[in-house]
Amino acid sequence: WRKFDTWPPPAEETRFHLHPDERLSVEAPPDDSPPDRYRYDPADPTPAVGGPLFGFYSKRGAVDNRELESRPDVLVYTTPPLQREVEIVGPVRLELYARSSLEHTDFFGRLCDVRPDGKSINVCDGLLRLAPGKGEQQQDGSSRIEIDMWATAYRFRRGHSIRLQVSSGAHPRWNRNLGTGEPI
């Protein structure tokens, strides 16, 4: 247990960067990194597995995400095994530079703890529904977006890895986005 005078507690913010070889690192990626791609199909939406809520739609709580991460519509980025414990306390956010073929689309991010046996256990996640005018337009045509992945207090053990998933859905936890701009 931790006791703090304020929330979020004073902390050192650490940025992790996505690399083209599915690597997550505190080092900045090379400037000439090609974009990673996936195709989201609302007829076969990326499913919700695990999560912070209890409900009727899917298994909730901390679950193994390996089957989800093997889908072609889910990108994963993983650190090498940690040399020391890493503790996170407070809000977690994903800053993403993304582009979609549709103006109306969703982006979902999930932080996971990958154990030495390979199990990938969800820690926190969030979804952003992108519409025209949302996001900060970049010169290359992408949008800079921030996804609030909620606050957490979690310790990644030595020998474990930190993983980030990026996809465009978590159905039925969030209704699938058909990309039409019509009400969900």
Residue 154: predicted pLDDT:
94
Residues near 7 by beta carbon (within 8 Å), at least 6 away in sequence: 90
Select the more confidently predicted residue: 82 or 131. Answer: 82
Using 50, 70 and 90 to split pLDDT, how confident is the model at 52? low
Q: For the segment 70-128, what is each residue's pLDDT rounded down to a tens digit?
A: 999 999 999 999 999 999 998 999 999 999 999 899 999 999 999 999 999 999 999 99
CB 107 within 8 A of CB 145: yes
CA–CA separation, 48 and 125 (whole Å):
11
Name, of 40-44, 50-54, 57-61, the range with top average pLDDT. 40-44
Residues near 124 by beta carbon (within 8 Å), at least 6 away in sequence: 52, 92, 110, 111, 149, 150, 151, 152, 154
